[in-house]
Amino acid sequence: MVRRNRGKHRAIRHRRKKPRIVVFALTLGMIGLITSVALALVSDSGTYDLTVPNKNTSTGLISLGNASAEYIGSSADNQASGTGLFDPFVRLQGSPTEKGYNTDGAVEFDTKSGKWTHAIKVNAIPIVDCDGDGPGTDTCWELFVDINDSNNAKRISLNEVEIWFTTDPNLVGYVDPSGFPSGATQEYDFSGDILINDVNQGSGRGDLRYLVPTAGHTWDADTYFVLYSKWGTTAGTTGTFGTGGYSSDGGFEEWKVRKTPNVSVVKTEDAASVNAGSDIGFTITVTNSGVADATGVTISDNLPGGTGTTPVHWVEDPDNPDCTISGSDGSQSLSCGPVTLAAGGGSLSVHLSASTTADNCGQYDNTATFTSDNAGTGSDDASVTVNCAAIVILKNSTKGGAVANGGAVFSYDGSSVTDNGAGDEDSAIGAVCVSGLAPGTYTVNETTPPSGYGDASESDVNVEAVVGTDCGDNMPGVGGTATFVNPPLFNVQVRWQDGGSDETSLVGAIDCDNPTGTDDTTDTSDWDDTLTVNGIEVPAAGQITLTCTLTIDP
């Protein structure tokens, strides 16, 4: 709503120069533009008296609506001077009015070129609590102005303050009063009269402090902060303190920021998810993008152990001499520092990794925190999931249903499991379940049939281990199940013996027509001849007829 008023104000300015019908069209166009971007711009306006009688007095923060400002008496706040405390980014010098903005490109209007004027990124603007005193929930960009009007004409007015975001450090082309036609977006606007009596002497001071709320604005590491200001347009000589008008007398006005560190922490997982058996890892990086060194910086991180019976074991990979990992598996913690991070990008980074097994399935959430002596604290989190899956093997009889005996052994891609034995997570005979597997396709074979059964006819059965399946509430479906069918076995024995006359004899050997059994012709007991046929398979039909031939010579 505030910006719409500003749009109307600009339309009124044009009304003096253009025909009435054009004014109407322009007004509608401005309103339409404002409707689409109203949330991006924060506006303030009005007249504010920040004059003080002498350098022993400060105004304290005065609300301008959204932003706030204060004049700081150098003696009242024991304000130190010296450019080493501040980073200037735009200097203006003109009379009776002055205006300009910061850029690495060609300067315009009353902007002075040189080391005092340059592009500056949003991340280099210090952020403080908007109340100016202690922790709070609302944060503001903190800006200072070194005001240098002469001792004979101390009064000056600040009439326009605009903040623009751009990705172009060489931004130029500002049009007064409409701003940059392209290449930048306006984030903040003040239009009015801020009255100042510059009682401080010398330069290098932060005479005026200006706080602009950060809420509602978005930026990244590539965003530049452009500040346009206009001074000395207030008419008249009204004011509480000082004498004369509020025009600029030709001294410079310099916007700058306090040289403070700006530390942030980023924690990134190597991969959002991995399969069981693969390594998991995180990288933690703390960076100082500010214009002053950050001292006493530390990193702490309570490392996740997982939910399995065997926790993961974390290591530094590679080792960082500024960091250590302590504690036993499942309760390990990382600590780094304290170190000093140099201004302008000094950083501390450590990479952590851990191997996983079938016992380490699940999600690993992790938060890293930094502390410092002069750059506050911060944290960032990341997570990685160890994917696991399961397969099922069914052991059926050709006569239907599960086999009666356990003990069948199966192989799956180099591993083995025994029905109702080692590796089997299903207690029922004839059903095998294996969980904690990496998702994917497995080839299953029966290497040993159960006791009392013949070999299964199936081989190289492929099953799909699907993410999230297990041997509990999320059993694999048909695609994750391999079925093997085994025939039950029986033995038959045919014996012949002379009845006592010693006049009968067996011609040749006993012969049974049994293609699937195993003959054992070893005589036993007192029988003259014995044929034992073992391991005869019962066909699926459930019946078999054996024909055994004995030739007798009486």
pLDDT > 50? residue 387: yes
DSSP sequence for 8-49: HHHHHHHHTTS-HHHHHHHHHHHHHHHHHHGGG-EEEEEEEE
Residue 294: phi and psi, rounded to 5, are -100, 125
Q: In what order do the strands lie in the sheet with 440-448?
A: 415-418, 409-412, 440-448, 461-465
pLDDT > 90? residue 512: no
pLDDT in tens, 167-183: 999 999 999 999 999 99
pLDDT in tens, 342-353: 988 999 999 999
65 and 23 within one domain? no
pLDDT > 90? residue 497: no
243 and 141 within one domain? yes
pLDDT band, very low/low/confident/very high, at 3 (cuts 50, 70, 90):
very low
Return d(Cα 375, Cα 290) in angstroms, integer. Answer: 9
pLDDT > 90? residue 461: yes
Residue in the structure block whose two tokens are 């300009």? 100
Domain final position from 225, 258, 291 = 258
* Residue 40 pLDDT: 63
267 and 250 within one domain? no
Q: Which residue has the higher pLDDT, 84 or 527?
A: 527
What is the enclosing helix (H) or strand (E) of 495?
A: strand 489-496
Closest to 483 (Cα-Cα) out of 413, 420, 396: 396
Average pLDDT on 462-487 reads 93
316 and 405 within one domain? no
**Alpha carbon distance, N-terminus to C-terminus of the chain:** 125
* Residue 30 pLDDT: 33
Average pLDDT on 127-150 reads 82
> Which one of 9-18, 49-58, 81-90 scores highest in mean pLDDT?
49-58
pLDDT > 60? residue 8: no
pLDDT in tens, 251-292: 899 999 988 888 999 999 999 999 988 999 999 999 998 878
Q: Are 231 and 109 in contact (CB under 8 A)?
A: no
426 and 357 within one domain? no
Closest to 486 (Cα-Cα) out of 451, 449, 447: 449
pLDDT > 60? residue 65: yes
pLDDT band, very low/low/confident/very high, at 80 (cuts 50, 70, 90):
low
242 and 161 within one domain? yes
pLDDT > 90? residue 421: yes
Q: Which residue has the higher pLDDT, 520 or 263?
A: 263
* Residue 7 pLDDT: 37
The CA-atom distances, in angstroms, between 375 and each of 125, 212, 263 are: 13, 20, 6
Instruction: Please tell me whether the overall predicted TM-score, pTM, comes out greater than 0.75 for this model.
Output: no
Average pLDDT on 129-148 reads 83
Residue 187 burial (10 A CB sphere; 0-12, 13-18, 19+): buried
433 and 291 within one domain? no
With pLDDT > 90 as the criterion, what percentage of the chain qualifies? 62
- Going through 67-109 in order, the beta strands assigned E by DSSP cover 68-71, 86-93, 98-101
Give me the numbers of helices (H) and strands (E) for the chain, helices first please.
Answer: 2, 34
Query: Which residue range forms the structural domain that includes residue 31?
Result: 1-39
275 and 222 within one domain? no
The CATH number assigned to the domain holding 273 equals 2.60.40.1530
Q: What is the largest CA-CA distance in the chain?
A: 155
Domain final position from 441, 456, 486 = 486
* Residue 132 pLDDT: 67
pLDDT > 90? residue 19: no
3-state secondary structure of 420: coil
Return d(Cα 391, Cα 372) in angstroms, integer. Answer: 51
Domain final position from 383, 411, 446 = 383
The CATH number assigned to the domain holding 452 equals 2.60.40.10
Q: How many domains does the chain have?
A: 5
pLDDT band, very low/low/confident/very high, at 416 (cuts 50, 70, 90):
very high
pLDDT > 80? residue 362: yes
* Residue 551 pLDDT: 83
* Residue 236 pLDDT: 81
* Residue 534 pLDDT: 76
441 and 356 within one domain? no
* Residue 279 pLDDT: 95
478 and 515 within one domain? no
Q: Is the peptide bond before 181 cis (omega within 30 degrees of 0)?
A: no
**Choice among 86-100, 207-221, 487-501 with the minimum mean pLDDT:** 487-501
513 and 401 within one domain? no
* Residue 259 pLDDT: 85
161 and 76 within one domain? yes
Return d(Cα 384, Cα 435) in angstroms, integer. Answer: 20
Beta-bridge mates of residue 321: none
Q: What is the mean pLDDT of the chain?
A: 86
pLDDT band, very low/low/confident/very high, at 221 (cuts 50, 70, 90):
confident
pLDDT band, very low/low/confident/very high, at 14 (cuts 50, 70, 90):
very low
Q: Which residue has the higher pLDDT, 242 or 300?
A: 300
User: Alpha-carbon Rg of the chain, whole angstroms?
Assistant: 43
Beta-bridge mates of residue 255: 90, 145
Residue 210: phi and psi, rounded to 5, are -130, 120
> Side chain identity at 461, as an amino acid letter?
V
Q: Which residue has the higher pLDDT, 538 or 249?
A: 249
* Residue 438 pLDDT: 86
- b or e along 478-510 (b: 16 or more beta carbons within 10 Å of the residue's beta carbon)? eebbbebbbbbbeeeebbbeeeeeeeeeeeeeb
